Structure 1
Amino acid sequence: MLGWIVRILFAIAAPITALFLSREALNFGLIQTIVTMLLVTALVGLMAAYSERNRRAPH
Structure 2
Amino acid sequence: MMLGWFVRLSLGLASLITGLFVAKDAVNFGIVNVMVAVLLLTAVISVLAFWPMISTGAMSAYRNFLRRP
Fold shared per TM-score above 0.5: yes
Q: Measure how far apart 1:42 and its partner are.
A: 0.1
Identity percentage over the alignment? Answer: 40
Greater helix content: 2
CA–CA separation in structure 1 for the residues paired with 2:9 and 2:40: 11
Structure number with greater CO (CA < 8 Å, separation at least 6) is 1
- 1:23 equivalent in structure 2: 24
State TM-score, norm by structure 1.
0.83
What is the one-letter code of the residue matched to 1:27? Answer: N
State TM-score, norm by structure 2.
0.72
Task: Kindly report the root-mean-square deviation, in angstroms, between the aligned alpha carbons of the 2 structures.
Answer: 1.6
CA–CA separation in structure 2 for the residues paired with 1:35 and 1:14: 8
Gaps of 5+ in 2: 57-69
Gaps of 5+ in 1: none
Runs of 4+ in 1 over 6 A off after TM superposition: none
What is the one-letter code of the residue matched to 2:46? Answer: G
Q: For 1:8-43, what per-residue CA distance to the aligned partner results, in whole angstroms no more than 9, with x for missing partners?
A: 000100011011100000110110000000000000
Structure index of larger Rg: 2
Aligned length: 54
